[in-house]
Amino acid sequence: MEDLSRQRTLRKAPFLEWCDAEGLAVVTGYGVEDLRTLPLAHWERVGGPAAYCHLEGSQGFVGALVVEIPPGQSLRTIRHLYEEQVLILEGRGATQFWSDGSQQAVTLEWQAGSLFSPPLNARHQHFNGSSSEPVRLVAVNNAPLIFNIYKSADFIFSAPYDFSNRFSGERDYFSSEFKPGELEDTAVNFIPDVYAVPLNDHPERGVGFSRLGIHLSGNSMVGHIMAIQSGTYKKAHRHTAGAQVIVLSGKGYSLMWPPGGDFVRVNWKKGSLLVPPEGWYHHHFTASPEAARHLALRRGLRGVGIPWLASVSERDGGNMLEHEDEPPEIRAMYEAELAKEGVPLRMRPIQRPK
């Protein structure tokens, strides 16, 4: 019985079995060095080169599909019952969307740095707007969760239901106007340039740290854009699984570790991806002369699982580690990294209780 239980536990999830059957390449590990240069292979379902990043911290909730659109071409029209948030990594083009209640397409033009979320189950098609340069995009989605529940590609990609409460063909649907959000700081359906979004300072989460929570297209998935100034790092914290952290600019590294466990270090630069596992402490360290900007796209699903309080100090019952309580080797490691890069430390010394 123990052997049988082990076999059941270690068997691939339905989503990964489906990826194998589809011929969709799967990338594992704790991080991806550069999504822009990640090797891709043709995936017939989308009609272009693709690979799926199913990293350790994804834990069956959320992953990241990287897709390329060759110059002058388009991907296949598609609809699906999983949510996704699309970041354009390189190139320019447009996406057309259709609702079942409207035959006229809604067209959204985008460029590198644009972020949007196709409304749930709306038919859509991506087009490359250049005849000479490819487009590369990353679509962070909850496909693993949906596949592991339904186990039917025909249902997930062919269900005719129109979620008209989210999208019904409105011509101005993809507005870039930020509005007060219920799930995050702001609600918006299109961000033309994630590099230009103003952020709010949050020194209680770390010196030089700023952030803005975002909620796209009325979907359950959410995210945030954050910046960490040069010579600083964010306080360690813990939260739910599946947050896909995409590096937009800057250079540095992250440390992740389970309570009482060993550090896992992931070096990053523009284009990198990392995913902290659930309940693991993690720090993000900027080691470049310029600030680092990250985009974290997450599963949402508020009220599901442990309610981690990632921005509340552990001293107050939350899951954020104050600098005075972090392992002492962390600051020493960071100072050595800054010295190697020739970047000054912009944080006060840690005053530890004697």
Q: What is the pLDDT of residues 24-80, one digit of tens each?
A: 999 999 999 999 999 999 999 999 999 999 999 999 999 999 999 999 999 999 999
Question: Is 244 a member of any domain?
Answer: yes
217: left (phi over 0), alpha (psi -120 to 50) or beta: left
What's the token pair of residue 158?
């062919």
- Quick one: pLDDT band at residue 12, thresholds 50, 70, 90? confident
Question: Is 174 a member of any domain?
Answer: no
Q: 340 Cβ partners below 8 Å, 6+ apart?
A: none
Residue 238 · residue 280 · CB < 8 Å? yes
Both 151 and 197 in one domain: the answer is no
Both 135 and 281 in one domain: the answer is no
- For 127, 216, 342, the CA distances from 86, given in Å and listed in that order, are 14, 10, 35
Render pLDDT for 253-276 as a digit per residue (tens, 0 to 9): 999 999 999 999 999 999 999 999
Q: What's the confidence (pLDDT) of residue 1?
A: 55
Helix or strand holding residue 44 (H, E) = none
- Average pLDDT of the chain, as a whole number: 95
What's the token pair of residue 34?
């550069």
Domain of 233, CATH number, reads 2.60.120.10
Both 207 and 74 in one domain: the answer is no
Both 66 and 203 in one domain: the answer is no
Task: Report the alpha-carbon distance of residue 199 to residue 180 in Å, rounded.
Answer: 14
Question: Is 81 a member of any domain?
Answer: yes
Question: Is 165 a member of any domain?
Answer: no
Q: What's the confidence (pLDDT) of residue 302?
A: 80
Task: Report the alpha-carbon distance of residue 90 to residue 85 in Å, rounded.
Answer: 16
Both 278 and 311 in one domain: the answer is yes
Both 48 and 89 in one domain: the answer is yes
- Quick one: pLDDT band at residue 7, thresholds 50, 70, 90? low
Both 149 and 294 in one domain: the answer is no
At CB < 8 A and 24+ separation, what contacts does 102-106 make?
102/168, 102/169, 104/169, 106/169, 106/170, 106/171, 106/173, 106/174
Rg (CA), the chain: 21
Render pLDDT for 66-113 as a digit per residue (tens, 0 to 9): 999 999 999 999 999 999 999 999 999 999 999 987 778 999 999 999
Question: Is 192 a member of any domain?
Answer: yes
Residues forming a β-bridge with 107: 96
Q: What's the confidence (pLDDT) of residue 337?
A: 97
Both 59 and 95 in one domain: the answer is yes
- Quick one: pLDDT band at residue 305, thresholds 50, 70, 90? confident
Both 311 and 204 in one domain: the answer is yes
User: How many structural domains does the chain have?
Assistant: 2
One-letter amino acid of 317 = G
Q: Which residue from 327, 319, 258, 250 is spatially nearest to 284, judged by alpha carbons?
A: 250
Question: Is 348 a member of any domain?
Answer: no
Buried b or exposed e, range 255-291, using 16+ CB within 10 angstroms: bbbeeeeeebebebbbbbbbbbbbebbbbbbbbbeeb
121: domain range? 2-158
Question: Is 44 a member of any domain?
Answer: yes
Render pLDDT for 289-303 as a digit per residue (tens, 0 to 9): 999 999 999 998 888
Q: Are strands 26-27 and 48-53 parallel, antiparallel or unpaired?
A: parallel
Q: Angle at Cα 338 formed by Cα 334 and Cα 342, nearest 5°?
A: 175
Render pLDDT for 306-332 as a digit per residue (tens, 0 to 9): 888 999 999 999 999 999 999 999 999
pLDDT at 10 over 80: no
Q: What's the confidence (pLDDT) of residue 57?
A: 95
Both 214 and 244 in one domain: the answer is yes
Both 153 and 222 in one domain: the answer is no
At CB < 8 A and 24+ separation, what contacts does 11-18 make?
13/60, 13/144, 13/147, 13/148, 14/147, 14/148, 14/151, 15/54, 15/60, 15/143, 15/144, 15/147, 15/148, 16/54, 18/147, 18/153
Share of the chain above pLDDT 70, in %: 97
3-state secondary structure of 205: helix
Q: What's the confidence (pLDDT) of residue 276?
A: 96
pLDDT at 11 over 80: no
- End of a domain among 158, 190, 219? 158
Q: What's the confidence (pLDDT) of residue 5?
A: 62
Both 62 and 189 in one domain: the answer is no
Task: Report the alpha-carbon distance of residue 298 to residue 253 in Å, rounded.
Answer: 20
